[in-house]
Amino acid sequence: MCGIVGYLGEGNVYDILIKGLHRLEYRGYDSAGVALVSPSGNINVFKAKGKVANLESFCQSKDLSARAGIAHTRWATHGEPSDVNAHPHFSEDGNIAIVHNGTIENYKLLKDVLEKHGCSFHSETDTEVLAQLIEYIRVTNKCSLLDAVREALKQVVGAYAIAVVAKDDPDTIIAARQSSPLAIGIGENGSYFLASDASPFVEYTNECVYLKDGEIAEIRRGVPLKITNLNNEESTVDVTTLQLSISQLEKGGYPHFMLKEIFEQPSTLRDCIRGRVVADGDRININGVNDNKEKFRNAKRIVIVACGTSWHAGLIGKYLLQDMCKVPVVVEYASEFRYSNPIINADDVVIAISQSGETADTLAAIQIAKEAGAFVFGISNVVGSSIPRETYAGCYIHVGPEIGVASTKAFTGQVMVLTLLALAIAQIRGTLSDEEIAKVGKCILKLPDYVEQVLKLSPQIERLSLIYTYARNFLYLGRGYSYPVALEGALKLKEISYIHAEGYPAAEMKHGPIALIDQEMPTVIIAPQDHLYEKIVSNVQQVKARGGSILAIVTEGDSVIANLADHVLEVPDVPECLSPIITSVPLQLLSYYIAINKGKDVDMPRNLAKSVTVE
Task: Return the number of the residue (196 or 362) whose C-beta is nearest ligand M6R.
Answer: 362
Q: Work out whether the CA dihedral 493, 496, 497, 499 comes out positive or negative.
A: positive
Q: Is 354 in the site for ligand M6R (CB under 6 A)?
A: yes
**Minimum CB–partner distance for residue 386 and ligand M6R (Å):** 10
Write out the binding residues for ligand M6R, residues 481-520 only, by CB under 6 A. 495
Q: Is 265 in the site for ligand M6R (CB under 6 A)?
A: no
Q: Is 308 in the site for ligand M6R (CB under 6 A)?
A: yes
Q: Is 462 exposed, middle or buried (0-12, 13-18, 19+ CB in 10 A)?
A: middle
Task: Return the number of the residue (85 or 310) whose C-beta is nearest ligand M6R.
Answer: 310
**Residues forming a β-bridge with 475:** 502, 523
Task: Return the number of the residue (276 or 494) whose C-beta is nearest ligand M6R.
Answer: 494
Phi and psi (nearest 5°) for 142? 50, 50
Q: Is 362 in the site for ligand M6R (CB under 6 A)?
A: yes
Binding mask 407-446 for ligand M6R (x = CB under 6 A): x---------------------------------------
CA 216 – CA 219 distance, rounded (Å)? 10
- Hey, is 488 helix, strand or coil? helix
Q: Is 355 in the site for ligand M6R (CB under 6 A)?
A: yes
**Minimum CB–partner distance for residue 35 and ligand M6R (Å):** 28
Task: Return the number of the residue (489 or 572) whose C-beta is nearest ligand M6R.
Answer: 489
Q: Is 310 in the site for ligand M6R (CB under 6 A)?
A: yes
CA 322 – CA 330 distance, rounded (Å)? 10
CB-closest chain residue to ligand M6R: 308
Catalytic residue among 49, 51, 318, 610: 610
CA 154 – CA 151 distance, rounded (Å)? 5
Task: Return the number of the residue (103 or 309) whose C-beta is nearest ligand M6R.
Answer: 309
Write out the binding residues for ligand M6R, residues 394-413 only, by CB under 6 A. 405-407
CA 334 to chain centre: 14
Task: Return the number of the residue (536 or 609) whose C-beta is nearest ligand M6R.
Answer: 609
CA 353 – CA 493 distance, rounded (Å)? 22
Task: Return the number of the residue (225 or 608) whose C-beta is nearest ligand M6R.
Answer: 608
**Residues forming a β-bridge with 278:** 283
CA 277 – CA 444 distance, rounded (Å)? 8
Q: Which amino acid is at 92?
A: E
Stretch in the footprint of ligand M6R (CB under 6 A) among 348-356, 470-478, 499-507, 508-516 = 348-356
Is residue 602 within 8 A of residue 258, CB to CB? The reply is: yes
CA 406 – CA 94 distance, rounded (Å)? 39
Rounded to the nearest 10 degrees, the angle between the axes of helix 458-468 and helix 579-597 is 50
**610 is known as an active-site residue:** yes
**143 is known as an active-site residue:** no
**Minimum CB–partner distance for residue 281 and ligand M6R (Å):** 29
CA dihedral of residues 84, 121, 4, 21 (deg, nearest 10): 10
**Minimum CB–partner distance for residue 356 and ligand M6R (Å):** 3
Of 260, 342, 577, 336, the residue nearest 437 (C-alpha): 577
Catalytic residue among 2, 59, 272, 395: 2
Stretch in the footprint of ligand M6R (CB under 6 A) among 69-77, 136-144, 163-171, 308-316 = 308-316
**Minimum CB–partner distance for residue 385 and ligand M6R (Å):** 9
Task: Return the number of the residue (45 or 307) whose C-beta is nearest ligand M6R.
Answer: 307
Q: What are the Cα distances from residue 125, in Å, to 178, 276, 483, 490, 506?
A: 18, 47, 41, 34, 45
Q: Is 584 in the site for ligand M6R (CB under 6 A)?
A: no
Q: What is the CA radius of gyration of the chain?
A: 25
**Minimum CB–partner distance for residue 180 and ligand M6R (Å):** 13
CA 517 – CA 504 distance, rounded (Å)? 13
Number of residues that bind ligand M6R (CB under 6 A): 16
Q: Is 309 in the site for ligand M6R (CB under 6 A)?
A: yes
Catalytic residues: 2, 610
Where does this chain bind ligand M6R (CB under 6 A)?
A: 307-310, 354-356, 359, 362, 405-407, 495, 608, 611-612
